A and B are shown apart, each in its own frame.
Chain A
Amino acid sequence: MAPLISFQEVSKVFGTGDRTIRAVDGVTLDIEAGEIFGVIGYSGAGKSTLVRLVNALETVTSGRLLVDGQDVTALREPQLRRVRAGIGMVFQQFNLLNSRTVAGNVAYPLKVAGWPREKRAARVAELLDYVGIADKAKAYPRQLSGGQKQRVGIARALATSPRILLADEATSALDPDTTQDVLALLRRVNRDLGVTVVVITHEMDVIRSLAHRVAVMEAGKVVEHGPVYDVFAAPRERATRRFVATTLKDRPTPEAVARLRHRHPGRIVTVGIRESGVDVTAALREHGVDGTIVFGGITEIDERPFGSLTLELTGADAAIDALVADLRGRTDVDDLGTAGVPA
């Protein structure tokens, strides 16, 4: 099946003459229907611009951008308005209309789309119920908490039943608990309604718990992309490794390694824990080696296990060598050696 969103050598340049900025630089990327696609990058990496090209809030400078089979770079303003109306968008600062009630905000895109009044009211009630704030229909945005505001934002974005939902740092202004609620809601929107969700964030945790696939952006370019699990498990680029390190603090830093060697006389080895599953305890027993867990962490990415354990191995050198060789065959192993013989 053709991808729902297809970037083909897309660039976006701001400014003219000598003072130009390439916010998006030759991006080629496909986003499939029905997936949750994450775009991660530091601020200024171009991810917000990238997503704004999809609903034509920004125009493409060069390249082709197909949205639902239609080349949006070839469209003019009135046609673009129709494309935009078919794509929902939620924002970091919610961007609710403070002059309208919660119900008024959700009804606004329906008004724009020309829905008659009676149908609007029913749809608004249905949406507010879906996002869990039916009791706030008559409240004004200034009377709501951040999490409630974002629920309104999501209800509003879903009003016209779009196929695509763009979430621009949708949880970055929320506290950790509320962030989880909103992420769960976005997951539900994807699963129940089949809406393709494009999430922009600088937080790897959001990608980890929400996205199926991810693209890492740096200086306008997509430096790495693929299934979230694969990108986490084997980050190729420095930027990706830095993001992975922010969410999983399972591997000891060089300073921590020095302390571990000082504290533990045995051989220090870090063993990756992956979906393939390695029974470390069984391997230790098999080779007659003692192991003590001295560092590590295991979590889930895309609902699959991921992390590492750092062990102090004690026993005969030959047995330890055999064990390490055995584990290397099954997962990634980082042999950190001992204080006397650092690997």
Chain B
Amino acid sequence: MNRDWSELSPILWESVRETLYIVGVTVGVGGALGLVLGVLLYATRRGNLLENVVVFTVLNVAVNVVRPIPFIIFITAVGPVTLAVVGTTIGNEAVIFAMSIMATFVTARIVEQNLVATDPGVVEAARAMGASRLRILVTVLVPEALAPLILGYTFLLIGIVDMSALAGYVGGGGLGNFAIVYGYQRFNWEVTLVTVLVIIGMVQLAQLLGNWLARKALHR
């Protein structure tokens, strides 16, 4: 361990904290909006509870257009919107804004795909009991798909950690920025390696937690 680490570790921990902040807010905002969008995407599909060709097509196309854009390009592409909403295109908040939009669309697809797999018989049973469509969506569909949704969100969380590494490019902080500034730009491979290990550790923890929660939700 070389002596740099006495200076670097506080910065490293600060970066971990920033990454957690960026990822946390994004998962919260993008996850919640994506859940709504995903449920709508599922419900408006042909033959489903809120069947609506127009809404479904608009949502479906929007998701298909946004999702494949590489995030580094997306950050700059939504720049004008970010400026209008956040007031700046640089820094953590600007990054969070762009990430939340992307996360919303990614989540929408993950949620939709998991809902498609739920048993239509359960929905029919709830209809037979006289439950309203909205009630079925909220109290039957989402809870029934909870285990796969938890795994889907875990997958999303890890994707967002990946996205957050690009924050450094637009003046944001976090571990990605740390690895570039103190590792790559100073030819300090050890710093890069440590950052990688910290990220692996975080992702592993998230995955373990997700697996555990999903297993609980299955009620076997």
Q: Are A91 and B126 in contact (CB under 8 A)?
A: no
B114–chain A nearest beta-carbon distance, Å: 13
Q: B130, B135, B143 — which one has the most chain A CB atoms within 10 A of its CB? A: B130
Binary contact track A116-157/B, C-beta < 8 Å → 1, others 0: 000000000000000000000000111100000000000010
A148–chain B nearest beta-carbon distance, Å: 15
Confirm or deny: B146 has a beta carbon within 8 angstroms of a beta carbon on chain A. yes
Confirm or deny: B129 has a beta carbon within 8 angstroms of a beta carbon on chain A. yes
Q: Are B131 and A112 in contact (CB under 8 A)?
A: yes
Q: Are A112 and B135 in contact (CB under 8 A)?
A: yes
Q: Are A142 and B132 in contact (CB under 8 A)?
A: no
Complex contacts, A55 vs chain B, CB 8 Å: 128
Q: Are B121 and A57 in contact (CB under 8 A)?
A: no
Given A91-B121, A112-B135, A142-B220: A97 touches B128 (CB 8 Å cut-off): no
Binary contact track B178-220/A, C-beta < 8 Å → 1, others 0: 0000000000000000000000000000000000000001111
Confirm or deny: B144 has a beta carbon within 8 angstroms of a beta carbon on chain A. yes
Q: A86, A100, A141 — which one has the most chain B CB atoms within 10 A of its CB? A: A100
Given A89-B125, A112-B130: A99 touches B220 (CB 8 Å cut-off): no
B61–chain A nearest beta-carbon distance, Å: 25
Confirm or deny: B124 has a beta carbon within 8 angstroms of a beta carbon on chain A. yes
Confirm or deny: A115 has a beta carbon within 8 angstroms of a beta carbon on chain B. no
Complex contacts, B66 vs chain A, CB 8 Å: none
Main secondary structure of the interface of B (DSSP, over half): helix
Partner of A109, one of B130, B146, B220: B130
For chain B, residues 96 to 138, give those with C-beta under 8 angstroms from any C-beta of chain A: 119, 121-122, 124-132, 135
For chain A, residues 50 to 101, give those with C-beta under 8 angstroms from any C-beta of chain B: 55, 57, 81-87, 89, 91, 93, 95-100
Alpha-carbon distance between A100 and B220 when the two chains are bound, in angstroms = 12
Q: Are B128 and A113 in contact (CB under 8 A)?
A: no
What residue in chain A is nearest B119 (Cβ atoms)?
A95
Confirm or deny: B140 has a beta carbon within 8 angstroms of a beta carbon on chain A. yes
Confirm or deny: A42 has a beta carbon within 8 angstroms of a beta carbon on chain B. no
A277–chain B nearest beta-carbon distance, Å: 44
B59–chain A nearest beta-carbon distance, Å: 23
Given A100-B143, A142-B220: A95 touches B130 (CB 8 Å cut-off): no
Q: Are B219 and A57 in contact (CB under 8 A)?
A: no
Complex contacts, A57 vs chain B, CB 8 Å: 124, 127-128
Partner of A85, one of B119, B121, B122, B130: B130
What residue in chain B is nearest A86 (Cβ atoms)?
B130
Alpha-carbon distance between A210 and B135 when the two chains are bound, in angstroms = 35
Partner of A97, one of B144, B217, B220: B144
Alpha-carbon distance between A98 and B118 when the two chains are bound, in angstroms = 11
Partner of A99, one of B121, B130, B143: B143
Complex contacts, A83 vs chain B, CB 8 Å: 130
Q: Are A97 and B122 in contact (CB under 8 A)?
A: yes
Q: Are A81 and B130 in contact (CB under 8 A)?
A: yes
Alpha-carbon distance between A95 and B121 when the two chains are bound, in angstroms = 5
B5–chain A nearest beta-carbon distance, Å: 48
What residue in chain A is nearest B129 (Cβ atoms)?
A109
Complex contacts, A91 vs chain B, CB 8 Å: 121, 124-125
Complex contacts, A93 vs chain B, CB 8 Å: 119, 121
Q: Are B220 and A143 in contact (CB under 8 A)?
A: yes
Q: Are B144 and A112 in contact (CB under 8 A)?
A: no
Binary contact track B80-94/A, C-beta < 8 Å → 1, others 0: 000000000000000
B interface list, Cβ under 8 A from A: 119, 121-122, 124-132, 135, 139-140, 143-144, 146, 217-220
Q: Identify the 8 closest CB pairs spanning chains A and B, nearest first.
A: A85-B130, A140-B219, A95-B125, A99-B143, A95-B121, A109-B129, A84-B130, A89-B128
30 examples of A-B residue contacts, CB within 8 angstroms: A81-B132, A83-B130, A85-B129, A85-B130, A91-B121, A91-B124, A91-B125, A93-B119, A95-B122, A96-B125, A97-B125, A97-B126, A97-B144, A98-B218, A98-B219, A99-B143, A99-B144, A99-B146, A99-B217, A108-B126, A108-B129, A108-B139, A109-B129, A112-B131, A142-B219, A142-B220, A143-B219, A156-B129, A160-B129, A166-B128
List 7 additional A-B contacts (Cβ < 8 Å) besides A85-B129, A93-B121, A140-B219. Answer: A87-B128, A95-B125, A96-B122, A98-B218, A108-B126, A112-B126, A112-B129
